[in-house]
Amino acid sequence: MAVLTALRPIGKGLAFAVVGFLIGAGAATLLTTITDRPATQPVITLGYLFALIGWVLGVGLWDNWAREWFGLPVKNTEAFGWPRYFRFTTDHKTIGVQYLVTFVVLFLLAGLLSVLMRLELMAPGQTIMGAKDFNTTMSLHGIIMIAVAVATFLGGFANFTIPLLIGAEDVAFPRINALSYWIVPPVAVLLILTPFFGGFDTGWTAYPPLAVVNATGGLLFVLAFLTFGVSSILGGLNFLATIIMLRAPGMTWGRLPIFVWSIFAAALISLTATQFVAYGLLMIILDRVVGTAFFDAARGGKPLLYEHIFWFYSHPAVYIMILPGFGVALEVLTHFSRKPLFAYKYVVGAILAIVALSFIVWAHHLYTSGMPSYLHLPFMITTEIISIPTGVIFLAGLGTIWLGRLWLTTPMLFALAFLFNFVIGGVTGIFLADVPTDINLQDNYFVVAHFHYTIMGGEIFALMAGIYYWFPKITGRMHSEALGKVHFWWMFIAYQVTFIPMFWAGIQGMNRRVADYTPELGGINLFISVASFLLAASFLVMVYNLVRAWVRGPKASDNPWRARTLEWQTSSPPPLENFTRPPVVVGHPYDYGVPGSVHSAAAPAGGAGDKETH
């Protein structure tokens, strides 16, 4: 019974979603009979849109918020204990955990999909699935991992840590925050349903004209992507407002922890650029559902328009993923080197420079797309300029650990590996930024290896660093550092062995996104496949370690890493209001070893003047 009551909001959401679907589908059927258009796609699209509205209303938007608009008193449906994770909760820490758990599960799922792909690619010819299923597997792996890369940081860590790091009680718009999480489950449901609607074979980029004419699974995918976009716009808005408005007294811009800066930058991109991909996806939906001619060349459409708009979002989106990765890595490197963050101001400048530059490089994805060739050179130059600020950040990382007394905990190992992998990802990126080399490397495994080195070797290693770093704070339990290190070395070695050969396979002509290859590449592919299975298996250690620690691990102290930032100056896990006494910031967060330096003090209790310092 207790379980049933706990899950009531979800049941209500589902019920409202069914009603919404019927309304939308009914309206679509009516419209299609008037206009003589085929009914399937309009019914799915309108049905889904209304189901989505029904779902968020039912799951809590109506009770907690929308009643207000009709002059009714709101009903607060918050709960305590585990049921709070299954409802419209406004506490940023709960939402952070909701995001993290959801997306770590999705991460493991998409990892399994890559195992399926590697099984198929183990030997030339068909092994376990046909080309069509391979395309769907590949596309699903891509889009889920993209969502993971965006949402674990901008949704998970940002939610849990930003208010703590700046000394706030919550985010600026707690209800919008809850809304942006509860928009996510429909995305997952749509994606999981795609194989039952013919799958989709466009990859996560959804290039037309294929994306307009492929199976209905393609429509489901585009709707899912669009929904996810709405969620990340809301998330970006929330964190910008939070960081601008809710910093504790004394938390000046020059004292912001670097992870906060990185989320600020990512949120800026998310708020603005995501509207572009939203429009790109809307055009695909309109072409499919209404029969417009955006991408039909015969009627004056241009598929190239989509590529421009899509990459105007998706290149900056790379920085939505990687900038918070930088943030976590630098944060961890500083705390575990026991040294001030090297060149803090330059790092902040570099992060903001990357945001600005990220908007003027998109066409480096279009060198072989038939874009006018006079655009090649400018985009090559802007792209290469980006290596200056990224280089600054990398050097700041090195400068921070230089001559530091390194404490090689699990998070620290992952942060160091981040630096290592990012160099490889960055250097190989130069070949793809340069037009002459890129034209030869386009769409082969060199590209696959490159972006996996930046996103997986970079961001996912930073994600692991963040998970192990904040796990004691989030759960109040301590994971096993020994198992953590086993996970690290296993994952690190298996990772290199999997992805280094891909550079070579690419140069040998191994095409990406294709289920088959020439027999000469059989040996290297077998090697990569076996290595990738080992890589996948390393995550079992992590799951075992973290699940066990969460259930019955030893209690974590408030500040197991003896770090100076604010989130460690409260209990583990923090109380609902975050700090029993509001913090006052008096110094820089990273002045380790600087005599007499203090980052924060708790506000004096009732003016008694007992200054509690750290």
Token pair of 536, please? 């996948």
Q: What does 138 interact with, of Cu ion, other proteins, none (CB < 5 to 8 A by kind)?
A: none
Query: Judged by CB, which is closer to other proteins: 443, or 577?
Result: 577
Asked if 292 interacts with other proteins (CB under 8 A), we say yes
**What is the Cα–Cα distance from 240 to 263, expressed in whole angstroms?**
8
Q: Which of these, 264, 165, 159, 244, lies nearest to 585 by C-alpha position? A: 165
The β-bridge partners of 511 are 444
CB of 304 to other proteins, least distance (A): 8
Report the partner that residue 315 touches, choosing among Cu ion, other proteins, none (CB closer than 5 to 8 A by kind): Cu ion
Burial pattern 39-70, b for ≥16 Cβ within 10 A else e, equals eebbbbbbbbbbbbbbbbbbbbbbbbbeeeee
Does position 293 bind other proteins by CB under 8 A?
yes
Q: Which does 213 bind (CB under 5 to 8 A by kind): other proteins, Cu ion, none?
A: none
Report d(CA 612, CA 614) in Å as an integer. Answer: 7
198 binds, among Cu ion, other proteins, none (CB under 5 to 8 A by kind): none
Q: Which residue's CB is nearer to other proteins, number 125 or number 249?
A: 249
Determine the Cα angle at 421 with ends 369 and 488, to 5°: 130
Of 286, 497, 534, 598, the one binding other proteins (CB under 8 A) is 286
The one-letter amino acid at 227: T
Question: Is the CB of 596 or the CB of 606 nearer to other proteins?
Answer: 606
Strand partners, 555: 477
Is the CB of 48 or the CB of 414 nearer to other proteins?
A: 48
* Nearer residue to Cu ion within complex by CB, 234 or 432: 432
Q: Output the six-digit token pair for 392.
A: 């600054």
From the list 21, 88, 264, 312, which residue makes contact with other proteins (rule: CB under 8 A)?
A: 312
Phi, psi (degrees; rounded to nearest 5) at 557: -75, 175
Structure tokens at 507: 């140069």
Q: Nearer to other proteins by C-beta: 279 or 504?
A: 279
CA distance 77 to 90: 10
Question: Which segment (69-77, 388-396, 532-540, 550-558) binds other proteins by CB under 8 A?
Answer: 69-77
Question: CB 68 → other proteins: shortest distance, Å?
Answer: 9
Among 278, 413, 462, 474, interactor with other proteins by CB under 8 A: 278
The encoded tokens of residue 405 equal 């007394």
Q: How far is the CB of 153 from Cu ion (least distance, A)?
A: 18
Output the smallest distance, CB 317 to other proteins, in A. Answer: 14
Beta bridge partners of 583: 602
356 scored as a contact of other proteins (CB under 8 A): no
* Nearer residue to other proteins within complex by CB, 173 or 346: 173
Measured in degrees and rounded to the nearest 5, phi and psi for residue 304 equal -60, -30
According to CB under 8 A, which one of 175, 302, 338, 614 is a site residue for other proteins? 302
- Cα→Cα distances 87→56, 61, 64, Å: 11, 10, 11
Q: Tell whether residue 311 is a contact of other proteins (CB under 8 A).
A: no
Please report, as a single letter, which amino acid is at residue 568. W
**Long-range CB contact pairs, 364-370, < 8 A, 24+:** 364/315, 364/432, 364/433, 364/438, 365/307, 365/311, 365/314, 365/315, 366/304, 366/307, 366/308, 366/311, 367/435, 367/438, 367/439, 367/442, 368/438, 368/439, 368/442, 368/443, 369/304, 369/307, 370/304
Binding residues with Cu ion: total (CB under 5 A): 1
Q: How far apart are CA 154 and CA 263, in angstroms?
A: 7
Give the binding range for other proteins (CB under 8 A) out of 182-190, 290-298, 380-388, 435-443: 290-298
Task: Output the smallest distance, CB 364 to Cu ion, in A.
Answer: 6
Of 84, 315, 477, 599, the one binding Cu ion by CB under 5 A: 315
Point out which span in 8-16, 270-278, 426-434, 521-529 binds other proteins (CB under 8 A): 270-278
Question: In 386-480, which residue ranges form alpha helices assigned H by DSSP?
Answer: 387-401, 410-433, 435-441, 445-454, 461-475
Smallest gap, in angstroms, from Cβ of residue 291 to other proteins? 5
Interface pattern 237-266 for other proteins (x via CB under 8 A): x--xx--xxx-xx-----------------
For residue 448, which phi and psi values (nearest 5 degrees)? -60, -45
Q: Is 582 in the site for other proteins (CB under 8 A)?
A: yes
81 binds, among Cu ion, other proteins, none (CB under 5 to 8 A by kind): none
The region of 55-63, 124-132, 258-266, 306-314 touching other proteins under the rule CB under 8 A is 306-314
Q: Of 65-73, 322-330, 338-346, 511-519, which part binds other proteins (CB under 8 A)?
A: 65-73
Least distance between Cu ion and beta carbon 432 (Å): 8
283 contacts other proteins (rule: CB under 8 A): yes
- Contact range with Cu ion by CB under 5 A, out of 315-323, 367-375, 396-404, 450-458: 315-323
Q: The tokens 């999997």 sit on which residue?
A: 498
- H or E, element range at 20: helix 8-35
452 touches Cu ion by CB under 5 A: no
Secondary element (H or E) of residue 132:
helix 131-151
Task: Give 65 or 311: the residue with its C-beta nearer to Cu ion.
Answer: 311
- Joined together, the tokens standing for residue 344 give 């803090």
Residue 408 touches which member of other proteins, Cu ion, none, C-beta under 5-8 Å by kind: none
User: Which of 1, 4, 70, 596 is close enough to bind other proteins by CB under 8 A?
Assistant: 70
Binding of other proteins at residue 69 (CB under 8 A)? yes
Q: Closest separation between CB of residue 392 and Cu ion, Å?
A: 19
Shorter beta-carbon distance to Cu ion: residue 87 or 365: 365
Angle, CA 478 vertex, CA 477 and CA 481 arms, to 5°: 160
Residues in Cβ contact with 36 at an 8 Å cutoff, skipping those fewer than 6 apart: none
Single out the segment in contact with other proteins by CB under 8 A; choices: 66-74, 318-326, 327-335, 343-351: 66-74
Count of helix runs (H) and strand runs (E) in the chain: 22, 2
Size of the site for other proteins (CB under 8 A): 48
Within 144-173, the residues that bind other proteins by CB under 8 A are 169, 172-173
| Amino acid letter, residue 479 | H
At how many degrees (to 10) do helices 184-193 and 174-182 cross?
10
What does the block give as tokens for 534? 């080992």
Q: Which residues bind other proteins (CB under 8 A)?
A: 69-71, 169, 172-173, 176, 233, 236-237, 240-241, 244-246, 248-249, 271-276, 278-279, 282-283, 286, 290-294, 299-302, 305, 308-309, 312, 581-582, 603-607
Q: Which residues bind Cu ion (CB under 5 A)?
A: 315
